Amino acid sequence: MSGRPLARRSALLGSAAAVAALLGCSARAEGSGAGAGASTGATGSPTPRPASPAATGTPPPATAEGAVPAPGDPSRAVDSAMVPVRLEVPRIGVDVPLITLGTNPDGTLEVPADYQQVGWFTGGAAPGATGPAVIAGHVDSSSGPAPFHRLRDLAAGDEVVVTAADGRRRSFAVDGVEQHPKDAFPTAAVYGPAPGPVLRLITCGGSFDRAIGHYRDNVVVFAS
């Protein structure tokens, strides 16, 4: 199943597929209720998913607290018409513009400076092109929930729509959701090759470690 024009009927995928990944997601205020949902959801065994093709080479280790390498080429050429400009996830009430995200000097994924922003990683595929398109956002801040606060609530078959700069809307169906410790980030599964267009939505999850100012886990939605 691949990213497809919205007019086509979305097939509900029975098999689950998901992975986790990359945000620091720091600075939740002491005593704040924001992010409480993200700190308790998606526990237990991850939803089973089909094996994905292995990426070549060995993924490098994380290089900063709460950060994970972001393989890819941030300067890769992408047709300007396919650059994603808006993300909609109806089931959890997300309808936000997209910014672009590159990599930090240490090779980790850049994250939105504004907690209410959501961004597309320019080192991956554009949504609708062959390969993994990666979109990342925060779960919360000291001010309250951020756009991906309920990302962990998605289930297989839920729709995700990405609008490109040319106005074309591409629809994906959620395959599944997984949660992983940040120090066990499955880089190859998130960024590895795919036979068609696939989408990953990534945020933070698990418990909040006040000693380091970060959530301990990542929640990732896989869609295709």
Structural domains in the chain, sorted by start = 4-48+87-223 (2.40.260.10)
- Global pTM value: 0.72
Contact partners, residue 83, CB within 8 Å, separation at least 6 = 100, 120, 126, 164, 165
Confidence (pLDDT) at 112: 96
Portion of the chain with pLDDT greater than 90, in percent = 56
The DSSP secondary structure of 152-196, one letter per residue, reads GG--TT-EEEEEETTS-EEEEEEEEEEEEEGGG--HHHHHS--SS
Looking at residues 123-135, what average pLDDT do you find?
Answer: 96
Comparing 45-59, 95-109, 188-202, the range with the smallest average pLDDT is 45-59
Confidence (pLDDT) at 201: 97
By three-state DSSP, how is residue 39 classified?
helix
55: how many CB neighbours lie within 10 A of its CB? 15
75: left (phi over 0), alpha (psi -120 to 50) or beta: alpha
Looking at residues 183-197, what average pLDDT do you find?
Answer: 88
Given a contact cutoff of 8 angstroms between Cβ atoms, the answer to whether 128 and 83 are in contact is: no
Confidence (pLDDT) at 212: 87
What is the C-alpha to C-alpha distance for residues 13 and 170, in angstroms, rounded to an integer? 17
Average pLDDT, the chain: 76
Which residue, among 61, 16, 20, 7, has the nearest Cα to 155 in the 3D structure? Answer: 16
* pLDDT tens for each residue of 165-189: 999 999 999 999 999 999 888 788 8
Higher-pLDDT residue of 43, 134: 134
Confidence (pLDDT) at 107: 84
Q: Answer whether residue 19 shows pLDDT above 60.
A: no
Q: Answer whether residue 222 shows pLDDT above 50.
A: yes
Confidence (pLDDT) at 109: 87
Confidence (pLDDT) at 172: 99
